[in-house]
Amino acid sequence: MKRRLLFLTTLIASALTLTIPSVFAEESTADEVTLLPELTVTANKKEQILSIVPVHASVYDAEQLQDEGVDGLSKLEGKFAGLSFQPFGQSGVNSPVLRGLTANFNALSSSTLLIVDGVPTLTAQGFESTFVDVDRIEILRGPQSTVYGRNAEVGVISIFSKDLDGEDKTRLGLGVGSRNKKIVQAATSQTLIEDTLYASLSGEFVEQDGFIDNITTGEKADDKEHQNFSAGLRWLAPENTDFELRYRRQGYDDGAMLWNSARASERATVASGTDSYNASVGQTISVNATHNTLSGLLFNSVTAYNDFKDDVQQDTDFSAAEALYIGRDHRLRTLSQEFRLEGNIGDSEWLVGAYLEGQDHDLTTTSKNYFGLAALKAEQTSRSYALFTNWSVPLRSDIRFITGIRASHDEVKIAPTNSDAKSEMWTALTPQLTLQYSINIDHMMYATYAEGMRAGGFNTVSAAANYSSYDPEKNQSVELGWKGKLLNKQLNYSLAVYHMDMKKMQVMAMPGVGVIYLTNAAKATSEGVEASVAYNFNENWSMETSVAWNKTRFDEFVDGSNDYSGNQNLFAPEMNGHLTFRYDGVNGFSAAASFVASRSVYLDAANTYEQKGYEVVNLSTNYAITEKTKISAYVNNVNNREYDAVGYQNGYVTVYSPPREYGVKFTLDL
């Protein structure tokens, strides 16, 4: 496995190294029928052409992902090289891992920011989105805190709903799959008043049996049922003003997490007598207002509200007796307001903005052990304020200087039920400097220095921690990147090399039995290489591949008598990537085959427990029966590879990897 990934990385790097210099002088042709399409990405909160934006970014069509059985964020592993998720095993909760950095689930923050239609998700809880009626998914790698704020420490994942542009359409979808999977989807977009008012509605119901046998109940322990709903309304007001209202709701009615004891003798079999469930509900709403002035200025206002109710109970003794279990009843609410003003001065582009945010979290954590039932209850509130600016200035025709800075102030308070209230405040400056050089019309390179930040907070998971605070985590990053087109624009390439230094790194410390808390006890260094290539062989055949190599090590990390300095960071694979071939034929027929691989990851700071590395093959095909009907089929994890996380929760739990899944979906456009 190591040799195969190393060979693939070497092959890509060698091809770029040997080929790029020889083609810089080539004349580009515009009459090729196999040209790759120009994609756009919303970097720096402005739409830009992907091939020339000075950041390592990727974008995927959401409908294509759905046809391939990728129906949520957690399944994006293998599509975006370098992106993975902690093996947590609960629907609606995803802790992203990017460039070797991630966040502990209990921190109520993430190292990679999720934005859905302008609504930020700042926690692993609720870090999910359905792809029904979604246009595209974008990912920006590297610190983005200057423009996007805290928790964009190493990147941003943005999800955009389909435009309300007056194209009236309705789509129905029905699907079935393995483990009695059932999918019902519906989406419609309609013009209510011509050139003035547009609306959209969409919904999805997904049900699937589990694969973990519960020998106590005789049923599957991990059955799943999800309900998703979204609505949009767009008003083109007079005088160049555009209002867009979006609402989303995601509901979960699941059984247990994909957990079992790390010492279990039989895979995917538990004997739980305690009821385990996930009854979480997430809702988001946003109002996006844009006004173009006659003088060329663009004013934008985004008001967003995110409400996630994390309602979970999980058996932890995995026996018929009700001896041990944990539960959460968290209500996480975030209200944010952002104002932006942007314009041009000659060939220079500028943006200034202000951001205000309020969080109100009600936190109840319960745990049952041999000594009885314990509950920790607290209310945590926070207020955040920020001013930011970003400028893009041409120094000459082929060199552009891009810079920005963000000044932020955060105040966090916690009021435990049985303890004194506490408060902390932090102020930070996060700058970014980029120098972009256009080698010629088809090739460019860039160099970036950027700083990222992840929010601080309070410990709420252990009574022994006494609700102690921890400071924000800070990241200083240097990145060099190359992008371009080769072979008469049939091939796009992107290569990024980076080095990051993390200060005040937030880590989980366990200095004694029963004492668990987050603290700023570590420093770390992360360095890596990311490469991607997309190539159209001809009108029918295309290939895409991407590989990410990362090395993240603790420079300093002392936990009581344990010294973890030099160890690998948790949940961070040293390498992952994919190789995908696609065929697009006549009459709407297409097929794709993808090889996805990842190195193993450690589950603890001591590097004792790990999740296995894996190589899986995914297949998909689509066929247009008529102009308005289509049938899609997919098989993910064809080789039924098992890559369980054995030793999660400091050696106590195994989190099972999902088995092979296949499905067929029929869609009808009305």
The CATH number linked to 48 is 2.40.170.20
pLDDT in tens, 477-531: 999 999 999 998 899 999 999 999 999 999 987 665 456 788 999 999 999 999 9
pLDDT of res. 120: 93
pLDDT band at 11 (very low <50, low <70, confident <90, very high): very low
pLDDT of res. 5: 40
pLDDT in tens, 187-236: 999 999 999 999 999 999 999 999 999 999 999 999 999 999 999 999 99
Domain count, the chain: 1
**Strand boundaries in 561-649, DSSP class E:** 562-563, 575-584, 590-598, 601-602, 610-611, 614-624, 629-636, 645-647
Average pLDDT, whole number, for the chain? 90
pLDDT in tens, 364-392: 999 888 778 888 899 999 999 999 999 99
pTM confidence score: 0.92
Sheet of strand 155-161, all strands in order from the earlier edge strand to the far edge:
57-61, 134-141, 155-161, 113-116, 119-121
pLDDT in tens, 268-303: 999 999 999 999 999 999 999 999 998 889 999 999
Six-digit token string for 9: 């990385």
Q: At residue 269, what are phi and psi to the nearest 5 degrees?
A: -140, 125
Contact 69, 618 (CB under 8 A): yes
CA dist., res. 317 & res. 313, Å (int) = 13
Find, among 277, 271, 73, 260, the residue nearest to 644 by Cα: 260
Domain that holds residue 612: 2-669
